Structure 1
Amino acid sequence: MSDSIASLRRKLGSAADLQAVVRTMKALAASNIGQYEQSVLALADYYRTVELGLGVCFRGAGRAAGIGDDVRAADARAVGLVVFGSDQGLVGQFNEIVVEHALASVAKLTGKPVVWAVGERIHARLTDAGLPPAGLFGVPNSVNAITPLVWQILLENGQSAGQQHATELHLCYNRPLTGSGFAPVTQRLLPLDEKWRRQLAAQLWPSGNLPEVIGNGTDTLRALIREYLFVSIFRACAESLASENASRLAAMQRADRNIDELLERLNGSFHRLRQNGIDEELFDVVSGFEALTGPRRQP
C-alpha cells in the first residue's frame, strides 16, 4: 500500500513539473506571436511606400527589359522555391501541412525547382518526400534575426546584386488566419505579376504633388524591386513564425488540458488509496479494541 502511494506521489510531482514547463512554453509562444504580428503590421506602411514607387516607375518606364517579365522559357531561367518550416518540435502538424502544400505547388511548376528550406525539420521532411533542398537556412529566433535571413535568401537567389536575368521565385509558408489557426500559401514573387503591375501603374498618387523619377529609371526600378522582395520575404518569414508559435500554443493548450485530466485522475487514485489505508488502520484498531474488551472465556 505504501509503495503504491509513494509511486502516485512521484507521478503527481512529475506531472506538476511537466505542467509548469508546458505553461511556461504557452506564455513564451503567446508572447512570440505578438511580436511577429506587430512586425507584420509595422511593415504595412513601408510596403505601401514601395508599391507607390513601383507604380510611378511602371507608369514612366513601361515594361523594363529583363525585370519581372513573364516566363517564356522556363528551362532558361532558374526556378526557386523557399519553404518556411521550424527548427523545433511541439508544433503539431505545422511542418507536415506546409510540406504537403509545397509538393502540390511544385507539381504545378514547369520543371523541377531549386528548393531552399528554412528550418531543419522542414529540410528533413522535404528530403523524405523526394524533394531534397539545395540549401538550409536557420529559423530566426526573434524579429531582429529575420533581416539577416532575408539577405541570405536574396544573396542565394542572386537578386541582391541586381543581375540582368529574372529568376522565378516562389515562397511557401503557413500564414495566420483571422482569429486562430493558419493555412499554407504559395506566393510568387518573380516574375512580377502583370495584373499587379497594371494595378500599381493605374493607382492614383495620394497627394497633389506628382512624383517623377530622377536619374536612371531602370536603376530606380531595380532598387524598388529589391525592396519589394525584401519586404515580401520578411513578411512571409514573420507570418510563418507567428503561425509556428500559434501551432505550438495550441499544442501546449492541449497538453495542459491533458495534464489537468491526468492530475485529476492521479489525485483521485491517491486519495482513494490513502483513504483505504486509513480505513484498514482504523479497522485494525477497532478489531484490537474489541478483542481486548470482549468477554473472556471461562477455563
Structure 2
Amino acid sequence: MRRTWLIALPLTTAFLLAGCGGGGDPLDSGSGDTGGDSPAAGTATAPAPDGEGGEVVVGSANFPENELLAEIYAAALSDAGVDAPTKLNIGSRETYMAGLEDGSIDLVPEYTGGLATYLNPDITATSSEEVLADAKENLPDGLQLLQISQAEDKDALVVTGETAKELGLSSIADLKGKAGDLVLGGPPEFETRPNGVDGLKKVYGLEFKQFRSLAAGSNLTVQALKNGQVDAANIFTTDPAIEENGFVVLEDPESLFAAQNIVPLISKDVVNPTVEEALDAVSAALTTQNLTQMMVQVVSNGEDPADVARQFVDENL
C-alpha cells in the first residue's frame, strides 16, 4: 500500500551512495534493488508477544555496512517475534527514501548527519544532539527516528600516508593551494551534495583538478587511492582499509562532515512497543568500536553479513 505522505525533496537521478568496505554502496551505482529479498538473518520467527509483533520489511542501502546493520535489525526483530523480511542493496538515499514512501520497505539503518543534510541542505548543526533534532524537525510526517546509537560512521577525506607526508597534510584545511593539482575520488553524489565537492569549495575554498566518480568506500576506491588514480578520496571512517593501508584521515576543523550516528529510520505505520524495544536495544549495544570490528569480519575476512549480524545479536542482546 502506498504511504499517504510524500518526500518533500525531489528525487535525484543518481542512484549511488558511499559505503564502507567492498561491494556496492548507496552513494554508489545501482538504480534499484540489486540484492533481493532474504529471510531475516537466517532466524526463525517466534510468535509475536501479545500478537503485537507484526511485520517490518527491513531495507538497506547498497553498501556492506548498511547491509550488515539491516541484518542486525532484522535478527533482533525476529528474536522479538516480529516478521522481518529484508530487501537489501536497494540503492542510494534517494532510492530507499522512495521505498519508504511507497511502502515497499518499512525500515532502514540511517546516519543522522547524512539524513539531516538530505532533508535540509542548509543545516548548520554539527553535534549529535543538534543534528538529530534537525533531522527530526524535517522528517516527512510518515517517518520516525528511534533511539540513536553511539556508533558513528562519518564521511572523511582520506589520503595515503605518502601524500600526507609529501604535502604536509593533517587536515582538510591544509589542502588550500594544493587541491588544484589533485584528483578527488568519491561517489557520484559527493560531487553535488552540500557536504561534498560543493561543501569543500564553500567551507574550505578548495577546487580540485578533477573529480572522479567512484564507489566510495569500496575496494575500487581503496585501489584507486593506493594506485594513485586519485589523490584523495571520500571514505567512511569505519572502513578497515584505512588502518590496513596506512591511510590518513584528514581532520575536519570546520565540521563540514556533521555527526553521523547510526539510527533506525522507520515508518510510523509499523511502530509498536515490541518493534521499538527491539530496535532501541540494538542502538544501545552498537558502538563505533564493535561496528568497526564487524566491518573487518565482513570486508577483510569475507564473512557473510547475516552471520556476523546473528553473532552480534546473540552476544549483545
TM superposition score normalised by structure 2: 0.26
TM superposition score normalised by structure 1: 0.27
Q: Which has the larger Rg? A: 1
Instruction: Indicate the structure whose relative CO is greater, using CA pairs within 8 Å and at least 6 residues apart.
Output: 1
